[in-house]
Amino acid sequence: MPPTAPTGTVFKAIAHPARREILALLALSTRSVKELTAEFAISQPAISQHLRELKDADLVASERVGLEQRYRLTAGPLRVVSDWSAQYRRFFDPGGHAWAFVPVPEAPQSEKEDKHGR
């Protein structure tokens, strides 16, 4: 198992909104620097710098595919953020119903109609 980045590095990496958005995009699929740059109003060198910060925090990994580097999310280090924020859960979830924050998948149209007798 590879060594993990220090906790402070993870928090520093997610402190910037562009890096958080990059993580959100990589949570959906792997992407190249070019594909990521197309999603932002900032330069390719700026995206590369953000990726470097995320890589230093072990939040992304890259792999050469053909002529390009493909980046993917490695979310394991985000565990420190979850663990840290758990101490504050009582302030936003006083009843201990953290499950309420998970969206429930919507039922297909035919099931909705059956529930309502239509």
> Domain limits of the chain?
7-85
CATH code of the region 7-85 = 1.10.10.10
- Among the residue ranges 14-18, 56-60, 73-77, 114-118, the one predicted with the least confidence is 114-118
Report the largest interatomic distance among the alpha carbons of the chain, rounded to a whole angstrom: 57
Identify whether the C-beta of residue 37 lies closer than 8 Å to the C-beta of residue 21: no
What pLDDT sits at residue 3? 52
Structure tokens at 108: 């297909």
Could you give the strand order of the β-sheet that contains 60-65, starting from the edge strand earlier in sequence? 31-32, 68-73, 60-65
Q: pTM, whole model, 2 decimals? A: 0.74
pLDDT tens readout for residues 73-101: 999 999 999 899 888 887 777 776 665 55
